[in-house]
Amino acid sequence: MADSPAAPGAPDAPGGPITLSSDSPAPPEPTEPPEPTRAPLGAGGVVLLAAAITGNLIFGSSTLALPALENGLGLTASTGTLVVALFSVGFASSLVLGGRLGDAWGRRRMLQIALAALVPASLLVALAPGAGVLLVGRVLQGVASGLALPQVLSTIQHTTVGRSRARWTGAYASVIGGGTAIGQIGAGALVAADPWGAGWRLAFGFVSLVAAVALFAARAIPETSSSRVSRLDPLGALLLGAAIAAIVLPLGAGSLLATSAVVSLLVLAAVLLAAFALWQRHRTDAHALVPLSALRVRPLQLGLALTLVFFASYGGFVYYFSTTLQTGLHLGAFTTATVLTVFAAGFVVTSALLPALVARWTPRHVMLAGVAGQAVMLAATAAIIVGSDGHPPLVLLCLVLVVLGVAQAAMYGPLIGSVMGAVSHDLAGLASGLFSTLQQVGIALGVPVFGLVLGALPSYPALAVAACIGVQILFASVFAVLVTALGRATRAAQE
């Protein structure tokens, strides 16, 4: 495994983990802080997975319940776009801060705070009487979810090793992959049944129930923190959060903004990121929001680049495929959700089996096999849709989507390990926050890219899907190149 990225179960990064420096002189220390006492996660791990699924439930529910929400509150399509975009803005802009707060204050404590905020925020959305309350609730939902999610992976990284870590990381991948589908199928069923005329409200309110149960059971989670984060970085958090918001907002709600406004926001994001980098250079690692020494590690750089590419492709696929099935091929919301759930089923089952696959073949080989399988299944999907004259055989399409889900999981599972394994357990919150942030930015980038391709052929939905699939295969090719580079960087770090 010398030429492969760190497996999900690997305790440390190739070439040694990243550690934090200190402001004042101190006695010599080992390069790696003493390993924490590790105990089986047990029930605490189940609670972590329940907390992890909340954000994906919200995302999945939003994509299917949005038309019913717009009708129920009499909203315009532009306001509906903001309902999705503002959640993404709040979520993406708070992830890195959430990871560092967990490192500094305790990850279980930070998770409890975030879940305690998510319960009323989700109820606010579910009970909103109009657009104003709804949009405020969506921002609060996003921030609370962003503060909660990094605590999950960082706690797994801090409390497990070897096969135990591989199993819990695989379970995390299954939950993340299945959470969106569960949200979609659940929202689709509730919207279709529309009990008491409140199907969409129940779809959004269900998240508050899941968050409340996870909050109640959170005491089962072992408390962990970083022993070397001595001070938070509020200015760094403000600069980075504002920069991420300035990226995600125009990409998620670009149709509502003039071209000049979109360009201005993206330029502002570049300026804020430059200011953030300069500020981090003047902070010691122990006091920086994102220690630059961590970002200089080549395996981490490549792992984050892979994250961006993967989720730009994945987010674009979910968008263009669900959009085409409903508007181009005229399938209902519930049928669309069911078809996508079949795709998610392949993803979830394969994620659970990944530890054994990675142990047998190495992460690099598993990811490259996933790339090859994805390209073949995407080509088969294009052939089915184009050749069916707008009426694809759903059984055959579902069979192809199952294998596509398997391929996507083979790419995603080892990717988590390549990012989380590149830093020490003291920086687990940071790595988790960076991974989740690049995931959200990737989705935000992928949706408009594929939306442009889809919009170029509005009268030919089948051909538009084929064009989107061609772009997705290009993304897969870039992913394969980066995986190869990651293998070389890993080998160089170990020599």
CATH, residue 48: 1.20.1250.20
On the CB side of 131, how many CA atoms lie within 13 Å of its CA? 12
In a domain, 207, yes or no: yes
pLDDT confidence of residue 494: 65
Q: Got the DSSP string for 131-185?
A: HHHHHHHHHHHHHHHHHHTHHHHHHHHHH--HHHHHHHHHHHHHHHHHHHHHHHH
Residue 29 burial (CB < 10 Å; 0-12/13-18/19+)? exposed
Q: Give strand ranges (E) for 282-431.
A: none
Residue 198 burial (CB < 10 Å; 0-12/13-18/19+)? middle
Q: How far is CA 458 from CA 73, 254, 441, 464, 467, in A?
A: 28, 19, 26, 7, 12
Question: 425-450 burial string, b = 16+ CB within 10 Å, else e?
Answer: bbbbbbbbbbbbbbbbbbbbbbbbbb
In a domain, 31, yes or no: no
Amino acid at 200: W
Cα Rg, the chain, nearest whole Å: 22
In a domain, 2, yes or no: no
Q: Which domain holds residue 341?
A: 43-494
Distance CA 381, CA 375 (A): 10
Tell which residue, 424, 293, 429, has the closest CA to residue 31: 424
List CB contacts of 221: < 8 A, sequence separation 6 or more: 41, 44, 47, 48, 107, 108, 111, 155
Count of Cβ atoms closer than 10 Å to residue 350 Cβ: 26
Backbone angles phi, psi at 138, to 5 degrees: -65, -40
pLDDT confidence of residue 39: 52
Q: Specify the DSSP element, H or E, that contains 93.
A: helix 77-105
pLDDT confidence of residue 422: 73
Residue spans of the chain under pLDDT 70: 1-40, 228-230, 323, 326-330, 332-334, 390, 493-495
Q: How far is CA 144 from CA 87, 138, 187, in A?
A: 10, 10, 21
Q: What angle do CA 14, 230, 107 make, to 5 degrees?
A: 70
pLDDT confidence of residue 415: 86
pLDDT confidence of residue 495: 62
The answer to whether the beta carbons of residues 224 and 158 sit under 8 Å apart is: yes
In a domain, 76, yes or no: yes
In the DSSP assignment, the letter for residue 34 is P
* Region at 378 (left for phi over 0; alpha for psi -120 to 50; beta for the rest): alpha
The answer to whether the beta carbons of residues 54 and 118 sit under 8 Å apart is: yes
The answer to whether the beta carbons of residues 47 and 217 sit under 8 Å apart is: yes
* Region at 238 (left for phi over 0; alpha for psi -120 to 50; beta for the rest): alpha
Distance CA 158, CA 100 (A): 14
pLDDT confidence of residue 265: 94
The number of domains in the chain is 1
The answer to whether the beta carbons of residues 473 and 121 sit under 8 Å apart is: no
Tell which residue, 308, 361, 302, has the closest CA to residue 482: 302
Tell which residue, 272, 214, 241, 217, has the closest CA to residue 433: 241
> What pLDDT, in 10s, does the model give residues 358-395?
878 888 899 999 999 999 999 998 888 887 776 778 88
Residue 259 burial (CB < 10 Å; 0-12/13-18/19+)? exposed
Query: What sign for the dihedral angle of Cα 331, 333, 334, 340?
Result: positive
Q: What distance lies between CA 352 and its chain's CA centroid?
A: 18
Q: What distance lies between CA 79 and its chain's CA centroid?
A: 24
